[in-house]
Chains A and B, each alone.
Chain A
């Protein structure tokens, strides 16, 4: 390569570091506060989950699944999968992962759905957001793991923030899709009967977009789950931790068992969180 080309290297990396340093210097205390609060909430939730003995918890979940779906096969399957994970010795890790994924999804939905609605109403906003969303989904996770680590320290918080960055585009995109594909006659019916903008949103647009938004939330859960191993690398506990440990110690049995637990959890969450089949119209 010609030397002149590399002689004057543009300092993009250095600039980024300046930005991160600036944030840390000026908002460090605030960030520490956020970190502590989030850590308390997430770990507190895990603690609550672990109050009940595993068998009682499994019975509770089975009852919930039965109540939601009324399907024997699903209820039996979920119970068996949870018993297997407990048997493998990952019950505590499972509970940590569930609260991590749960909060990541919650944050993603709380941020993503309103943004999706706003973008659905304003084409210019979506045009602006699209490259950012593409970036969030394609940028290798490790790249933004480093600055989050610097800003939030080791532990569950940088894990959950990285997870949200990765997962939030799904609810944004699908909410946008749902809102922009509300059939025009339905919107006009709302207007013709004198709906305010708020009424139009809550009584026409959101119900019409709900199936698409639910798909977005389901996607979001799956994406969050796919981040558990990465989150474990920065110190978030859960099922990712034994995978990381197995990787560093080339421990095949441990890696397989932990991996199996993650897959089982993924299947459980996917099946249970799918909207139960209701007698309900499709738009």
Chain B
């Protein structure tokens, strides 16, 4: 199994909370709203027509206000919620298993080995020690205590709780309890991790810290993570893809910068209105493509509309010569923008595609000149002018 494969495929899933969902589904097909369905059948519509693909090794954040159906969908992936209609396919040893309809025995195997979960309120067993809590999943699988302890000690070390192994779970602070929750989830070595608002019960400092820890663990572990959050900053920080949900439906599904730069409707626009785009955007997101730059003859290209700076490219599209304000200039990486330069020297800055917009802006602040964008092989792929930055920050289409 490699990255890029689909790990979870959610297809046209409707979830209705009712003993008999048929009448509610019929109303749903007639296009009735959630409120109308509730009034007519007393059934709560949890999710409607949800389709999502989650690739192996990525973090997919389900994002929305309370009641938007994000947790409902998450909990359907390990069938804590029953799916009324549609399929939820989970990759298991080369085949896709439909969790929504599989046998109890198959479901149990998936839950024990393939899909694991971290809960909002931690859900640790208070009568067990930290070590016993972390080993819980392995114990259910029937693993013996010595085998279990070896795995548990390793996972506890991973989350930095080795010293606390023999404490009872409820003697720990909230942040530490959730680390235990993480270790318990990692202990089963399941490759799909479901996280139901895992950090929202924690105070902001601890939350940020755990987010960072999760990201650094994820670099090594490369789990497929479905993460539910109502905090957009959290979603943008963690997510490779974000699904914005409203009223049980997915309104927009895409990478974070798309959500910020190309909101599909007013709901998403309003949602992202207060987000700081500098946390999300990189040079690639705001640059003008090299093909759209104005040629200045003899292999030269103007980086900006005001014609202050131009680069000359060799046949391999690498920069061979630079000129700023009419004089020869050296080209300098944006990371070095803080370093002193000789008096009177002319510089032009360049950034990688993945350089955060924030760094690009730092470089621009020096002389308001444009910043060139290079790819990993140092080919010029685009340029960023002041207007491009302002457009991105204000989230206006560039024109």
Contact = CB atoms under 8 A, between A and B. Distances in A.
Residue of A189, A196, A282 with most partner-chain B CB within 10 A: A189
Contacts of A282: 126, 170
Contact of B140 (A183, A194, A283): A194
B265 to A, nearest CB: 34
Interface string B323-366: 00000000000000000000000000000000000000000000
Given A280-B168, A281-B170, A193 B123 contact: no
Q: How large is the interface on B (under 10, 10 to 19, 20 to 34, 35 or more residues)?
A: 20 to 34
Contacts of B169: 281
Contacts of B113: 194
Given A193-B111, A199-B140, A188 B116 contact: no
Given A193-B112, A281-B169, A203 B139 contact: yes
Contacts of B110: 194
Interface stretch (A42-50, A121-129, A204-212): A204-212
B150 interface: no
B140 A208 contact: no
Contacts of A210: 127
Interface string B74-118: 000010100000000000000000000000000111111100110
Contacts of B127: 207-208, 210, 280-281, 283
B125 interface: yes
A279 B168 contact: yes
A188 B141 contact: no
Interface in A167-222: 183, 185-186, 188-196, 199, 203-204, 207-208, 210
B136 A193 contact: yes
Nearest to B80: A188
B17 interface: no
Contacts of A191: 80, 111
Contacts of A196: 108, 140
A210 B168 CA distance: 17
Contact of A188 (B119, B124, B171): B119
Interface in B128-142: 136-137, 139-141
Interface string B181-208: 0001000100000100000000000000
A207 B129 CA distance: 13
A203 B133 CA distance: 11
Given A185-B119, A188-B119, A194 B126 contact: no
A206 to B, nearest CB: 10
A283 B121 CA distance: 13
A208 B123 CA distance: 12
A74 to B, nearest CB: 24
A208 B194 CA distance: 25
Contacts of B117: 189, 192-193
Interface residues of A, number: 23
Contacts of A204: 125
A207 B125 contact: yes
A277 to B, nearest CB: 14
Contacts of B111: 191-194
B236 to A, nearest CB: 27
Interface string A252-283: 00000000000000000000000000011111
A196 B139 CA distance: 12
B126 A193 contact: no
Interface string A98-113: 0000000000000000
Contacts of A192: 78, 80, 111, 116-117, 119, 194
Contacts of A208: 125, 127
A193 B137 contact: yes
Nearest to A204: B125
B126 A281 contact: yes
Nearest to A185: B123
Contact of A189 (B108, B123, B168, B188): B123
Residue of A194, A208, A279, A280 with most partner-chain B CB within 10 A: A194
Contacts of B119: 185, 188-189, 192
A193 B168 contact: no
Interface string B59-86: 0000000000000000000101000000
B126 A283 contact: yes
A279 B125 CA distance: 14
Nearest to A199: B140
Contacts of B122: 185
Contacts of B121: 185
Interface in B273-306: none
Contacts of A195: 140
Contacts of B184: 193
A185 B137 CA distance: 15
A281 B130 CA distance: 12
A193 B125 contact: no
B139 A194 contact: no
Nearest to A191: B80
Nearest to B171: A281
Nearest to A186: B123
B108 A194 contact: yes
A196 to B, nearest CB: 7
A174 to B, nearest CB: 18
Interface of A: 183, 185-186, 188-196, 199, 203-204, 207-208, 210, 279-283
List the 10 closest pairs (A to B, CB-CB), nearest first.
A281-B126, A194-B111, A194-B112, A185-B123, A189-B123, A193-B137, A281-B170, A192-B117, A194-B108, A281-B168
19 contacts: A183-B123, A185-B119, A185-B121, A185-B122, A188-B119, A188-B123, A189-B136, A192-B116, A192-B194, A193-B117, A193-B140, A194-B107, A194-B108, A207-B125, A207-B127, A210-B127, A281-B127, A281-B168, A283-B127
